[in-house]
Amino acid sequence: MEFEIRLSGSVEVRVGGRAGPLGPTKSRAALAALAWDAGRSVSVDSLVHRIWDDHPPATARETLHTHISRVRRALRTADPDAPTITSRTNSYVLHVDPDRVDLRAYTSCVEQARALKGSDDDAALQLLERADAHRYGEPLAGISGSWPDHLRATVGETALIAAMTRAELLMNAGRFTEAVPVLAPLAPEHPVDEALVGLLAVALHGGGRTAEATKLLQRTRQRVIRDIGLDGGRRLHRIQEGILAGAPAGALYGQDPRRRPTARPGRPVPDNLPRDVPWIGRREELRRLTSALCEGGGESGAVVTVEGMGGVGKSALAVHCGYEVADRYPDGRCFVRLGGHAADRTAGAPDRALTTLLRVLGPEGRELPQDTEELTAMWRSLARDRRMLVILDDAVCSEQVRQLLPGASPTSVVVTSRRRLTGLPGARSISLDVLPSDDAIALFERRLGAGGRSRAAEIADIVRICGHLPLAVEIAASRLLARSSWTAADLLRQLTAGAGGLDELRDGERTLEHVFALSYRALNAEQQLVFRRTSLHTGMEFGPHAVAALTGLSLAATERALEQLLTQNLLAEPRAHRFTLHDLLRTYARSLNDAEGTESRTAKERLARFYIRAADHADRLVHPYRSRTSLDTDDLITHPKIDDVPAAERWLATESGNLSNTLAWITRHGSERQLAISVHVLAGLLDMRGHLAGMEPLLHRAVDYWAGAEDGTAQARALLDLSVAHSHHSRYEEAISGAHRARELARTLRDSELESECVNQMCIPLWQTGQYGLAQSLQKQTLDSLLRTNNKLQIARSYNLLGITHLHLAEVDSARDCFNSSLSEFTEIRHERGIFSSLNNLGEVSTRTGDFKSAERAYREALSLASRRADRRELETLRMNLANALIGLGETAEALTLSHRSLEFFRAVGDRRREAIALNRIGRAHRAAGRSEQAIPLHVAALVLARRINAAGEVVDAAHDAALAHMDTGRATQALAYAKESCTLSMQIGAHAEAARASRTLSTLRATRRTAAR
């Protein structure tokens, strides 16, 4: 069903045309504040301001969190697949396509229409029609405040632009009469807007209503002069003179929307802009650039910088914008190449650029001064009362540009540069990234023209290899055009065969490698080293500590170099202190590394050591109970500051992809010892991410290595890691065997702490296979031993595991006592994972005793703690258990949502036992909602899966639930068979409560059969 967030009219979430409840006004304001910036991070301070203005309550942040929680619930209630809201450091993001927000879709359509005006007027009109379909009333109706007022004003400005654009399009087609009702309602709201009134007057004149047009012009011009002065109303005066002279409306309007502006008498109008090209994409960037140029209202010029890596399209954007805003600059447009990366570095000297500007302005008969200061003075004197647009292309630094600024003048300046120009006062900055995939494909196809010899999939692959960089896409298309016998498939083979990529991106005149080389040569030696080394990183995103490891430089020197690479747009910083390198720049940098031989290999080894040592430190904080194999020290590598559990979890989550890549590199290039250590270090992280079972071959290699090295302690730890993987893959007998082998080694070594950990791990697959009595006996022995120590963490874990065995043996009071003891111990040592694990188990006690409300409270409290952590397996288990309590409370809709989400995860990571539980939960929810027919296949699927992996407890539950569902639908014979299976197995494993439950069901079934037989 169609999902939409409406900000026009009342703020609503709509699915399939129906609105869902959002709660109080502030909650609707919170949704609006996030939705207006859909997909972008909005700081908490901004949200507080948008909701409460400058007078927030003392508890604004806490109250904001409450409103965000309400919005989250409303989104989930409206649609289980609704967009999510995630929290980042001091900010929130609503992850939704902006086009699903009505006003964002409205503004996007208007901007697209403006961009198409003059090239495809019919499509532009269709876009404006589509835009109107996204407006349903006053924005944020019923919500007051300065930000809602600002938003309403912004949308109002967009509406004005939309109306004027529609009128211009109609008038371009000679449809003046149709343009009048578009403009007329807006004139009273904007009585001194010369552009609006001028358009309306021309439309009236073109529709045969000349008298009305002249009255409107006269009335408006008198008001403009009264409000602004004698200089006001010049545009209206020119239109009025034209009407009185009998000029046709088309001539007055100048049907080319990008016509040359009217020259001021007696002045040359320079216009040396390069040729514009049919435009593709960049709608948002073009809007921002145009808006920045218009901010001064024409009275004071703007300075805007357009920055980005070489080949990203900075000059093209500036030139295209120059054509778009031509009518705002009646005194001309100048384009000056500063040559910031030219081979002839004198091209960038200020005096040469100033001379070029002055020659373009044409002070005929005057000899130009030679001194730079005198040239600057002459330039500023000539520009003082001129409204021009000057494009300074390829600037090398802020100082070079500063001398070329026109001073106090209505002239605007656009500066393009590969550097970030931070030293220009009052300048607005626009940073260009590569094109989105669709726009890059469109650019390639536009360059090829009609009748191309290409398939869509091949073009998509070509632009992907080009990294969506506009210059690379242009070069690739030019190369294909130059080879008349080639198809896109031939070009694609050329780009992917052999060295491929960068070497093949050439078209006879241009090479991408040359473009990159110009930027590289502008760096000093240290910056060049950092640039080269970043390309050796095994992941796509990295932090400064990793780069320091690659280079061998100090962290401070590395950060200085990274800052300069950012300034030069050779790196990107998608998140704070996280860097990335464009694919083609990475290829270029790697080609520079090829000449270094063993130095590159050494750098990669340092990087691998950095990641494994940092991960070891973080994982010791996150999983303090794991028995550890120590690593060798390495004083030459600087590690990030990770001093508490939240910081460790954040680092592991952030670096999880890089750690996986590091393990892959060590697997291919490292020694067996390095691999054995790395697998052990990363086992905790892999378990948290649900990927440990997939690492089984590497875990076996670690066990074999430590056995060959005759290191019994390390071998036992490797066996424990392997046992955990087997448990998660539902291979319980192997898990028990591995833990048993580890325990025997620990006993031989007389390592009681290690032996205790082996028993804990062994107990998990024992209770998963229904061997509750044995698991309880082992855990009691371990707890007795631990109580003679002061190891509160291990004591708490033992209480927790012992409570599980009591619970499955129907010893509810003993189970509750154990879980309360574990909760107390975990709370005392502030072990958050243990706290929510104990809460989860207390929730299980409440569920089994039928106190579903208490169970729900326990599960939700556990979830609130677990949601701050990175262990998805634990989180989904808690959601699945909460679903069971909700079924008992009759809240089946939320139970289904939670269970389906958990099922998807457990299937993805191969956890068959929990997959069976999730299937059974979904079946229970359907049965509780009166849909027993839908429940039957789910219970049977869960039962088949549980039998296959010998998960005895899950077989008992699924068989009993299958019996109930069959009984509901009148299938007594099948129900009886399933109930017998559940009863028999329950008695075999000592699950007394489950056996009693199955016996009651059997009695009911037999009584029903006897009644039916009479």
Do 390 and 354 touch, CB atoms closer than 8 A? no
Do 136 and 6 touch, CB atoms closer than 8 A? yes
pLDDT digits (tens, 9 = 90+) for 279-330: 888 888 888 888 888 765 556 788 999 999 888 899 999 999 988 888 788 8
Parallel/antiparallel/unpaired status of strands 18-20 and 541-542? unpaired
pLDDT digits (tens, 9 = 90+) for 900-940: 999 998 888 888 889 999 999 999 999 999 988 888 989 99
Say if residue 138's pLDDT is above 80: yes
Do 264 and 302 touch, CB atoms closer than 8 A? no
Say if residue 261's pLDDT is above 60: no
pLDDT digits (tens, 9 = 90+) for 602-652: 899 999 999 999 999 999 998 888 888 888 776 667 889 898 888 898 898
At 344 the pLDDT is 44
Band of residue 255 on the pLDDT scale cut at 50, 70, 90: very low
Considering only 186-195, 405-414, 757-766, which range has the smallest mean pLDDT?
A: 186-195
Residues whose CB is less than 8 angstroms from the CB of residue 216 and which lie 6 or more positions away in sequence, other chains included? 187, 197, 200, 201, 204
Give the closest residue to 630 by CA, choosing from 713, 570, 560, 700.
713
Do 717 and 629 touch, CB atoms closer than 8 A? yes
CA-to-CA distance for 618 and 361, rounded, in angstroms? 64
CA-to-CA distance for 379 and 403, rounded, in angstroms? 10
CA distances from 856 to 841, 844, 863 (A): 12, 10, 10
CA-to-CA distance for 105 and 37, rounded, in angstroms? 12
CA-to-CA distance for 47 and 64, rounded, in angstroms? 8
How confident is the model over 389-406, as a mean pLDDT?
88
The beta strands (E) that lie in 27-114 are given as: 42-43, 84-88, 91-95
Give the closest residue to 517 by CA, choosing from 573, 585, 434.
585
Do 293 and 389 touch, CB atoms closer than 8 A? yes
Say if residue 16's pLDDT is above 80: no
Parallel/antiparallel/unpaired status of strands 18-20 and 12-15? antiparallel
Structure tokens at 456: 């869509």
CA-to-CA distance for 544 and 634, rounded, in angstroms? 18
Helix then strand then coil, % of the chain, to nearest 5 = 65, 5, 30
Do 165 and 109 touch, CB atoms closer than 8 A? no
At 347 the pLDDT is 46
CA-to-CA distance for 934 and 915, rounded, in angstroms? 18
How confident is the model over 63-91, as a mean pLDDT?
85
At 456 the pLDDT is 81
**Cα angle value 725/625/878 (rounded, 5°):** 60
Token look-up 């998660």 returns 728
pTM beyond 0.85: the answer is no
Structure tokens at 481: 């055009």
At 1009 the pLDDT is 67
Residue 622 or residue 221, greater confidence: 622
Give the closest residue to 15 by CA, choosing from 28, 23, 5, 7.
5
Residues whose CB is less than 8 angstroms from the CB of residue 236 and which lie 6 or more positions away in sequence, other chains included? 194, 197, 198, 201, 217, 220, 221, 224
Say if residue 882's pLDDT is above 90: yes
At 802 the pLDDT is 94
At 581 the pLDDT is 87
607: how many CB neighbours lie within 10 A of its CB?
Answer: 27
Q: What is the 3-state secondary structure (H, E, C) of 888-938?
A: HCCCHHHHHHHHHHHHHHHHHHCCHHHHHHHHHHHHHHHHHCCCHHHHHHH
How confident is the model over 48-67, as a mean pLDDT?
87
Structure tokens at 380: 């500023």
Give burial (CB, 10 Å; 0-12/13-18/19+) of 719.
buried
Q: What kind and span of H or E run contains 412?
A: strand 412-417
CA-to-CA distance for 434 and 710, rounded, in angstroms? 54
Residue 449 or residue 410, greater confidence: 410
Long-range contacts of 254-257 (CB under 8 A, 24+ apart): 255/171, 255/172, 256/118, 257/117, 257/118, 257/168, 257/172
How confident is the model over 942-959, as a mean pLDDT?
91
At 1 the pLDDT is 57
Say if residue 227's pLDDT is above 70: no
Say if residue 221's pLDDT is above 60: yes
Alpha helices in 36-59 (DSSP H): 44-52
Do 167 and 176 touch, CB atoms closer than 8 A? no
Residue 414 or residue 157, greater confidence: 414
| Sheet architecture: strand order including 91-95 | 42-43, 91-95, 84-88
CA-to-CA distance for 610 and 614, rounded, in angstroms? 6
The region, left, alpha or beta by phi > 0 then psi within -120 to 50, assigned to residue 282 is: left
**Cα angle value 60/19/56 (rounded, 5°):** 10
The C-alpha R_g of the chain, in whole angstroms, comes to 36
Residue 97 or residue 12, greater confidence: 12
Bridge partner list, 92? 42, 87
Q: What kind and span of H or E run contains 291?
A: helix 283-294
CA-to-CA distance for 142 and 137, rounded, in angstroms? 11
Token look-up 């004698």 returns 230
Say if residue 258's pLDDT is above 50: no
Considering only 9-23, 232-246, 287-301, which range has the smallest mean pLDDT?
A: 232-246
